[in-house]
Amino acid sequence: MHISDGVLPISIAIGCGVASLAVAAWSAKQTASEDLPKVAVVTASFFVSSLIHVPLGPTSVHLLIPGLVGVLLGRSAFLSIIIGVLLQSLLFSFGGLTALGANALMMGVPALLCGLLFNRLRGTTHKQNLLIGALAGGGGTLLAASILALLLVSGGEDFVGVMKLALLSHLPVFVVEALVSGFTVSFLFRVKPELLEQRLGALSQG
């Protein structure tokens, strides 16, 4: 799920670039310096997870994990995602450099929203965490696919058709993402619950 060069009209691409830079700057400011190693590790996971391909009939889809990044990083998620997307486009040629802003927004906005959702719901039991993690994972991907469709429409495509295609082709990804995120979150809740704490207290002070 990446937008390539030349798909979007220039004005939209530039607008997305500016918007993503602004959000990234906000996200970087919200990041506590003690959290930098954690952000780095999650960024590396996000960067590499796109290489995990799930075979699906004649084609294959790969993991995106915007939901999981949001759950783990909260407001720092956008910083993590824009760096991950930049390196993916530079090294793996996933998506073009001119569409970088659009790609970052497509993954980063769902990540931020999933982090918010997770923080609001915050399960106290193992099962609750599994469910909330799955919700964040699946929902994050669903949202990313919707943003993808919305952006493609700006390139002059028919909305309903694009939306249908984007959602249908990512149907298995939603399921896989929900499973992966759910199990990861419940596992972290069991072995290292402090990793799921987003430093909101420290952030509201600064």
Judged by CB, which is closer to other proteins: 15, or 62? Answer: 62
Burial class from Cβ neighbours inside 10 Å (0-12, 13-18, 19+) for residue 137 reads: buried
Judged by CB, which is closer to other proteins: 32, or 116? Answer: 32
The DSSP line for 158-179 is -HHHHHHHHHHHTHHHHHHHHH
Measured CA distances, 119 to 115, 127, 196, 203 (Å):
6, 16, 9, 14
CA angle (156, 158, 160) in 5-degree steps? 145
User: Are 31 and 81 a contacting pair, CB within 8 Å?
Assistant: no
Judged by CB, which is closer to other proteins: 87, or 153? Answer: 87
Please report where in the chains the tokens 């830079």 appear, as a residue. Answer: 21
Q: How far is the CB of 60 from other proteins (least distance, A)?
A: 10
Q: How far is the CB of 54 from other proteins (least distance, A)?
A: 15
Cα(112)–Cα(38) distance, integer angstroms: 16
Q: How far is the CB of 34 from other proteins (least distance, A)?
A: 9
Q: How far is the CB of 140 from other proteins (least distance, A)?
A: 20
Judged by CB, which is closer to other proteins: 89, or 129? Answer: 89
Judged by CB, which is closer to other proteins: 33, or 124? Answer: 33
22: CB partners within 8 A, 6+ apart: none
Site residues (vs other proteins, CB under 8 A): 33, 36-37, 39-40, 43-44, 47-48, 51, 83-84, 87-88, 91-93
Q: How far is the CB of 116 from other proteins (least distance, A)?
A: 23
